Structure 1
Amino acid sequence: PRASEPAIGPICRNPLDPARTAGGSSGGAAAAVAAGIVAIAHATDAGGSIRVPAACCGLVGMKPTRGAIPGGPSFGNHLAGIASELAICRSVRDTALIFDRLSGKSRGPFPDPSPVDIDNRRLRIGLLVDTGSAYPTEDDRLAVVEDAARALESDGYEIVPLTWSEFEWSVAASGGTFADIVSVNLAALIKAAALDESRAEPLTQAFAARGRTLPATSLWKTLDDAVLVSRKLWALFDRVDCMLIPMLSSAPLAIGSFPTDHADTDLHLERMTAFAPLACLANISGFPALTLPFGQDEHAMPLPVQIMAPMGHEPRLLSLAARLEAEGRWQHRFPVAGLPS
């Protein structure tokens, strides 16, 4: 809004530390669930927008396989397929239940998921505990990923070390694809709805302008890169059955760390990637990914981990998440309103 106009609403703060962000873009959903206002809240994930807020607030968030959740006739190709809908929850149980109830029969551009039985053989767990020098992750957040791997190893699963070099190109390509798709989509939305762009904040205007000036050949190249990202992940899943990787590079940042009062889109995207280096990878590739807390840091903020599985293997993802959740390394701070504490 303009300086003379009222804001849309108050700042969305993290219930675990009001000086910190609740994440985005489904930060309001995560804040409501973490505060106990509701037990579950709808959320969408186009670049980590379910998983990042869930990770910030000590919750469970899953981005399903592309096309697994119906989007409706006017929403089925939202953001060229990189966006998925589901919910932010307080437990793996609730996540599994809502996925079971909502998935399938999307009648969209992607095939419905086929139920995949949980494979009880000795799974190979790919372990990544490095996010490169450009996007370093704090030691305690890498250590908790390794802790989660050791917990699964104690069940007989095989741990397969992975290196940042196996992800680096895909992370960069995913960020570029995300930027182009979001920019073009925003420009098209403003035109189709005849919105008054001058009333938007500077960063929104800058992304719309970026979308209007992006050549079709550049958009085609970035969409082609998305296919290659997916193929590279499939190649990794030839060696492993699931991947255990970092979710956030640090504790939730201070309120104001992602300002929108400027027009530097590259800077904003760089800040997003630095905070969650591996978030966008699942959106661009189409693979399912889930985050859950697996401990807390010295400031009592959650230490999240992220699990990725091959397309259509949400049962495997949820099974491993339930196993880690059973360790009891995180307790919700606020009870759900109206329920016994």
Structure 2
Amino acid sequence: MAGFAEYTKHDALGLAGLVEKKEVTPLELVDSAIDAIERLNPQLNAVIHTFYDRAREAARGELPAGPFRGVPFLFKDLLTAYAGEEMCSGAGFYRGWKPAKNSELANRYLASGVVLLGKTNTPEFGLVPTTEPKAFGPTRNPWDTSRTTGGSSGGTGAAVASRMVPMAGGGDGGGSIRIPSAMNGIFGLKPTRGRTPVGPAESEGWHGFAIEHVLTRSVRDSAAMLDATCGPFLGDFHYLPKPHGKFLDEVGKDPGKLRIAYSAEPFLPGEVHTECRRAIAETVRKLEALGHECIEARPNFDGLAFSRNFLVMAAAYSWVNIKEAEDTRGRKAQFGEFEERTWLAARMGDVFSAGEFVYAIRRLQEAAREVLLFCEDYDVVLNPTTGAPPQKLGFLDAKGVNAVIEKVASRIPLGPLMKNGAALDANAAEVFSFIPHPPVYNVTGQPSMSVPLYWTDEHLPVGSMFTAKFGDEATLLRLAAQLEAAHPWADKKPPVSA
């Protein structure tokens, strides 16, 4: 079983270029990736499903002549369906279930020429910003295996950062591409709402707040995969036409002098860690050195109300997740077959009426309009990707009295008590303290990216989040490539890596 000694030195486009020049075969790349996964996964638990025989068969055959022909790839085990292979969405209740057909995004990934090796770990239904599902165990950060990789694309973040693969699939409903990118020191772009397809299983994800794309080590890989996957899909409620030019062509173009608003102050309940504030200050210095104009400013909206309403939305979808799981498996779920946190969210979702759900969505849309109006005055807005550097595993587990409340409330319908404003506010503070910025840009639908520009004295990565106007990935990609050239991160390898 021969691999390729230079496997980890190239990004995905670089590997595809070597395949094109016949300097390496797809099978050699696949064997290299399998070797990396088998060596590193016992320490990281990033990959939870593998189908190596199917991957080797594909690598030996005629692969599509796409931009990533022969490049090893992983799907996130959520939303992206691959026919005939297990799909659990982080939930033990789904063990053994295999979808009958691919999702449209899976088809587009495969048409780009990648070779699929397996699927990465995710929290149950992607509900929280750390990847520690009870059914599959925690994914560990390759920079410090006692710490989180973020979520919900945490398995992907660890797999890409550790060099198992040069890029892998992710999704973002409240920061879930950007958060793991920040936690693992890699690049992550959340595209504009409607840029990539979500069907056919759904017509929108999380009321249009969720979208899928890849996490990568290089900016150009992200741009090239967006070229390969963007465009309308029949039945999707939100879609954008294919752009006239290519996103890859934006990489390397001069972004010009950008007007950039920045703020390290939290938009949502919570505090921002000193290291994350330092990361923003350092990023501002780097931007100004590149000739950009940086102005300290932030949008004005009620962050606490936003948090409450976002929770109502997420709780409603948690109820739907369990109901659809029961429909798929053909039986009712018993308590214990989902995590207590998931049951609690679903019970909350069942308490709020349809009218209250619509009311919450409309209030979120009002806040989004305020943010969008603010962003009209700037080319880009800069915030911390997360409120803190990578935290110790278990940091979001309910503790003490809160653990008792979670256990009781997840088992017993508490009705109106779960709609109590103080209870909602406490829940909001717990959920959003770690991510006081990213969910805002899911609601607005704007393109937003996390760029690895800062490491703490403990050698932990901290992400800087840049957000552009709706539909303007081009500006983000130009800026990201400029920062990548001026302050390269490709050679920053975590201790646990191939």
Report the TM-score, using the length of structure 2 for normalisation.
Answer: 0.62
Task: Give 1 or 2 for the bigger CA radius of gyration.
Answer: 2
One-letter amino acid matched to 1:122: K
Residues 1:288 and 2:444 are matched in the alignment: no
Q: 2: distance between equivalents of 1:238 and 1:135?
A: 26
Q: Does 1:183 align with 2:315?
A: yes
3-state SS of paired residue (2:486):
coil
**Aligned residue among 174, 192, 207 for 2:345:** 207
Maintained 8 Å contact 2:447/2:470: yes
Determine if contact 2:271/2:387 at 8 Å carries over to the other structure. yes
1:232 aligns with 2:336: no
Residue-by-residue CA offset, 1:2-41 (whole Å, 9 max, x unaligned): 9xxx952232111110110111111111111111111111
Superposition deviation, residue 144 in structure 1 = 2.0
Give 1:121 deviation, angstroms: 4.8
Equivalent residue in structure 1 for 2:146, among 19, 29, 44: 19
Pick from 479, 483, 492 the counterpart of residue 324 of structure 1. Answer: 483
Q: Confirm or deny: 8 A CA contact 1:174 1:280 kept in the other structure.
A: no
Shift of 1:168: 4.9
Following TM superposition, by how much is the alpha carbon of 1:149 offset from its aligned partner in structure 2, in angstroms? 2.3
1:307 maps to which residue? 466
| Aligned partner of 1:86 among 210, 213, 216 | 213
Query: 2:394 corresponds to which residue?
Result: 256
Aligned position for 1:33 = 160
Q: Is the 8 A contact 1:39 1:336 kept in 2?
A: no
* Bigger RCO of structures 1 and 2 (CA < 8 A, at least 6 apart): 1
- Alpha-carbon shift at residue 314 of structure 1 (Å): 0.5
Identity, in percent, stands at: 29
1:54 aligns with 2:181: yes
The Cα offsets for residues 289-310 of structure 1, whole Å up to 9 and x where unpaired, read as 1001102101000121000011
Change beyond 3 A, Cα 1:167–1:254: farther
Match among 252, 259, 265 for residue 130 of structure 1? 265
Change (3 A) 1:190 1:288: same
Structure 1 residues 332 and 162, CA gap change in structure 2 (3 angstroms): same
Unpaired stretches in structure 2, ≥5 consecutive residues: 1-90, 93-132, 327-331, 410-422
Shift of 1:328: 2.6
Change (3 A) 1:335 1:135: closer
1:243 aligns with 2:402: no
Give the whole-Å Cα distance in 1 for the aligned partners of 2:454 and 2:324: 46
Q: How many residues align?
A: 332
State the alpha-carbon separation in 2 of the partners of residues 154 and 115 from structure 1.
31
Task: Tell me how far apart the structure 2 counterparts of residues 317 and 113 of structure 1 sit (CA, whole Å).
Answer: 19
The equivalent of 2:194 in structure 1 is 67
Determine which of 237, 242, 254 is the counterpart of 1:109.
Answer: 237
Pairwise CA distance, 1:176? 2.6
The yes-or-no answer on 1:97 pairing with 2:232 is no
Shift, 1:337, TM fit: 8.1
Distance 1:34 1:121, change over 3 A: closer
Partner Cα separation in structure 2 for residue 150 and residue 113 of structure 1: 37
Q: Is the 8 A contact 2:230 2:242 kept in 1?
A: no
Give distance in 1, aligned partners of 2:271 and 2:244.
Answer: 35
Q: Secondary structure at the match of 1:307?
A: strand
Q: Deviations over 1:244-293 (max 9, x none)?
A: 11111221111111126635785554333111110111111111110011
SS in 1 for 2:147: strand
Mapped contact 2:267–2:437 kept (Cα < 8 A): no
Alpha-carbon separation, structure 1, partners of 2:318 and 2:342: 8
For the residue of structure 1 that corresponds to 2:469, the secondary structure is coil
Aligned to 2:456: 297
Q: Assess if the C-alpha contact under 8 Å between 1:68 and 1:106 holds in 2.
A: no
* Cα separation, 1, equivalents of 2:154 and 2:172: 11
Provide the residue aligned with 2:16 in structure 1. none
SS in 1 for 2:470: coil
Residue aligned with 1:292, SS: strand
Per-residue deviation, 1:50: 0.9
Q: Is the contact between residue 279 and residue 453 of structure 2 (CA under 8 Å) also seen in structure 1?
A: yes
Q: Secondary structure at the match of 1:293?
A: strand
Q: CA deviation at 1:336?
A: 11
State the secondary structure of the residue aligned to 1:188.
helix
How far the C-alpha of 1:204 sits from its partner, in A, is 0.9
Per the TM alignment, residue 138 of structure 1 is displaced from its structure 2 partner at its CA by 2.2
Counterpart of 2:110 in structure 1 is none
Deviation at 1:89, TM superposition (A): 1.0
1:213-244 deviation per Cα after TM superposition (whole angstroms, max 9, x unaligned): 11222111111012112211221122111111
Q: Specify every segment of 5 or more residues in structure 1 that has no aligned partner in the other structure, as ranges.
A: none
- State yes or no: 1:196 paired with 2:355: no
Q: Aligned residue for 2:73? A: none
